[in-house]
Structure 1
Amino acid sequence: MHGGPNLLLSTIRQRFWPLRGRELARSIVHRCVTCVRARPRSMEQLMGDLPPVRVNKAFPFENVGVDFAGPVFLKPPSRKAAPLKAYVAVYVCLAVKAVHLDLVPDMTTNGFIASLHRFTGRRGKPSMIYCDNGRNFVGAHRELNELRNLFLTQRHKDVVANETTSNGILFRFIAPRSPSLGGIWEAAVKSMKLHLRRIMGNAMLTETEFTTALIQVESILNSRPITPMSEDPQDLQPLTPGHFLVGKPLNAIPEPDLSEIPESRLSRWQRVQSLIQHFWKRWHHEYLNTLENRYRWTEKTSNLVQNAIVLLREENLPPQKWAIGRVVDVQPGVDGLVRLVSVRTSSGITQRAVNKLCLLPVEVDSSLLIQ
């Protein structure tokens, strides 16, 4: 039932005059577990370096992040029927930020696998997919592995089956409830929702109408600049994801008809290749430089250690009801900084990013700590 540092110090000084009382009162308040649980502060760590898939050249959609957004409600075929619920699968290229949007009828394993087939049919098979730990993603990963193992154990597998199954898609799952580890596709979901609200408003569209609007939003997102725009009209137009998909922004004005121009005056195929190389050169010099800045988490802090007592932040619960856990494993990055830990709670062991944890001022036996 103590107050803040000043109130606590003034109350104590009515009977005693402790030496260095202000520092002592502040220390007592900061080490009070009840006060920390009432106003917890999330931990922070220096923002990590970008993974190689974000800064290395690759074909568009070779490495993608995927997330589901929704639900959205579609107009039913008849007036008396209930609105149809659907979701939007958002695929983001990790190299050039190109976006692919797909309407999915439900958030199930089969629904995601069907969406993955449509995605690979239009964009090509990715080599790696990053996603969160949603049940539909985990189920799809398990089912694809079972299908791959089934094909690999067939006695009479032909060359085609051997080629396709030996190069399966690799899934990478981020820690549960840690959206900061998948910020690139979370930002794409936010942008997609913003444009859909502007287009739809409160209207309820049919499946065909919604699919048309979704593709138009995809075109807008793939035409947004990914490099800073210059005020000089003589400079080149800003680089967009559409340059890597079709050679220009998807909402650009169509080029004039070249069918009447003699073939000898047309550019050669090598010119097309040089344009593509020019886009990648600009991507390297203009776009990658913008990724070097750390706008958040700019300072190093002490690493979280094993056996530390923490609170697990829950957005839909008050702080007093957040679960208490003990850190059982730390996973330092390549720079030695800990940004992901395993926490044991009453319901089991789970992974969390450190920015979703609040350290409690509970003393732990130093012999149990592992730096």
Structure 2
Amino acid sequence: MTAKAAHLELVTNLTTEAFIGALKRFWAKRGFPQHIYCDNATNFTGADRELKRLKRQFESQQHKTAVINESSRIGIEFHFIPPRSPSFGGLWEACVKSTKEILNKVSMDVRLTYEEMLTTLAQVEACLNSRPLSPMSSDPNDMQPLTPGHFLIGGPLEAIPEPDLQHIPCNRLSRWQRMQRMFQEFWSRWYKEYLPTLQKRYKWPSPKSNLSVGDMVLLHEDNQPPFKWPIARVTKVITGEDEKVRVAEVMLDGNVTYRRGIHKLCPLPKPQVDEPCTASSPLHTESS
């Protein structure tokens, strides 16, 4: 929750045992969290009871090994939101909702094996964790944004270059190509739906600051390949008669300059401090 990173696990059913198995895989990959926030599904509450039972069993043993003794000291606290109230978990529900809806649409007529679905979910997870969060630093020459991938692997997530398969009929594709086409369709839809969320306009807006020279922005461009986020810095602003910025000139990495209207620019939140943001601090103390 600190890094707003997504972690997806594939399960074959919604039983308590399946959830505990997914939880163990999460621990093996990400480490032990201190807090877990989730909804009130019966498999989640059952998992909470099962973990408490196992902890009591571990504590009742007379001769504990070093591993069991270390594991018993790891206290994981569950935090449940009210039943049938997904709005209380908006931080993670928004990510889960958009992912499941688009994935259902693009996989409607495709039957994948367990291994193929696992590969697709891994690519979708990397797609979600490649989104830019904020500038890495306040240096106007720094074009590197901070992403959840920096907190997971220490750097941005990259995609393997592959040809665009979205316009090729499915009967001409192999099973592997169909799986790749499904992921490309997911990226195309999710990219187009995610960008407008960065430019929300509310009914009663409060005064906002204009774009200024040096701000890092995300360009709203079409037909971008997976994991490709066109990041630019504002080099010049053009105001209207009301002294509000309507047009801006931006420079991409490679000293390429474009002129765009502000409706095509998504400003990233500025870092709170002037020092460069790093991914070295320990995170993942909370999970959902």
TM-score range, shorter chain: 0.5 to 0.7
| Structure 1 runs not aligned, ≥5 long | 1-93, 255-276, 284-371
- Which residue of 2 is the match for residue 123 of structure 1? 30
Cα displacement string for residues 11-37 of structure 1 (whole angstroms, at most 9, x for unaligned residues): xxxxxxxxxxxxxxxxxxxxxxxxxxx
Over 3 Å counting, the alpha-carbon distance change for 1:180 and 1:103 in structure 2 is: same
Q: Secondary structure at the match of 1:156?
A: coil
Q: Secondary structure at the match of 2:20?
A: helix
Over 3 Å counting, the alpha-carbon distance change for 1:252 and 1:210 in structure 2 is: closer
**Residue 9 of structure 2 is aligned to residue 102 of structure 1:** yes
The separation in 1 between residues aligned to 2:47 and 2:154, in whole angstroms, is 33
Q: What is the 5 A alignment of 1:47-62?
A: none
CA shift for structure 1 position 168:
2.6
Cα displacement string for residues 135-166 of structure 1 (whole angstroms, at most 9, x for unaligned residues): 10100000110110011011112333222112
Structure 2 residue identity aligned to 1:151: F
Q: Across the two proteins, how many residue pairs are aligned to each other?
A: 167
Over 3 Å counting, the alpha-carbon distance change for 1:161 and 1:229 in structure 2 is: closer
CA contact (8 A) 1:148 1:168 kept: no
Over 3 Å counting, the alpha-carbon distance change for 1:236 and 1:161 in structure 2 is: same
**Residue 49 of structure 2 is aligned to residue 142 of structure 1:** yes
Over 3 Å counting, the alpha-carbon distance change for 1:252 and 1:234 in structure 2 is: farther
The separation in 1 between residues aligned to 2:101 and 2:136, in whole angstroms, is 22
CA contact (8 A) 2:8 2:122 kept: yes
Structure 1 residue identity aligned to 2:82: A
- Which residue of 2 is the match for residue 239 of structure 1? 146
Higher relative contact order (CA 8 A, sep 6+): 2
Q: Secondary structure at the match of 1:100?
A: coil
The separation in 1 between residues aligned to 2:106 and 2:155, in whole angstroms, is 24
Structure 2 residue identity aligned to 1:192: T
Q: Secondary structure at the match of 1:172?
A: strand
Over 3 Å counting, the alpha-carbon distance change for 1:253 and 1:105 in structure 2 is: closer
- Which residue of 1 is the match for residue 157 of structure 2? 250
Over 3 Å counting, the alpha-carbon distance change for 1:213 and 1:173 in structure 2 is: same
CA contact (8 A) 1:244 1:279 kept: no
Paired residue for 1:279, among 266, 277, 288?
277
- Which residue of 2 is the match for residue 190 of structure 1? 97
Overall identity of the aligned pairs, in %: 54
Cα displacement string for residues 223-267 of structure 1 (whole angstroms, at most 9, x for unaligned residues): 01122799x98343221100111122212689xxxxxxxxxxxxx
CA contact (8 A) 2:136 2:276 kept: no
Structure 2 residue identity aligned to 1:170: E
CA contact (8 A) 2:39 2:82 kept: yes
TM normalised by structure 1 equals 0.41
Cα displacement string for residues 70-105 of structure 1 (whole angstroms, at most 9, x for unaligned residues): xxxxxxxxxxxxxxxxxxxxxxxx101111111011
The separation in 2 between residues aligned to 1:201 and 1:180, in whole angstroms, is 27
Q: What is the 5 A alignment of 1:177-326?
A: 177-197=84-104, 199-227=106-134, 234-251=141-158, 278-280=276-278
Q: Secondary structure at the match of 1:129?
A: strand
Structure 1 residue identity aligned to 2:120: A
Which stretch shifts more, 244-253 or 154-163?
Answer: 244-253
Over 3 Å counting, the alpha-carbon distance change for 1:203 and 1:226 in structure 2 is: same
CA shift for structure 1 position 189:
0.6
CA contact (8 A) 1:126 1:169 kept: yes
Which stretch shifts more, 134-143 or 205-214?
Answer: 205-214
| Structure 2 runs not aligned, ≥5 long | 162-274, 282-288
The separation in 2 between residues aligned to 1:202 and 1:253, in whole angstroms, is 25
The separation in 1 between residues aligned to 2:126 and 2:151, in whole angstroms, is 13
CA contact (8 A) 1:196 1:213 kept: no
Over 3 Å counting, the alpha-carbon distance change for 1:210 and 1:130 in structure 2 is: same
Q: Secondary structure at the match of 1:130?
A: strand
CA contact (8 A) 2:6 2:125 kept: yes
Over 3 Å counting, the alpha-carbon distance change for 1:165 and 1:199 in structure 2 is: same
TM normalised by structure 2 equals 0.52
| RMSD after superposition | 2.9
Which stretch shifts more, 219-228 or 102-111?
Answer: 219-228
Structure 2 residue identity aligned to 1:112: F
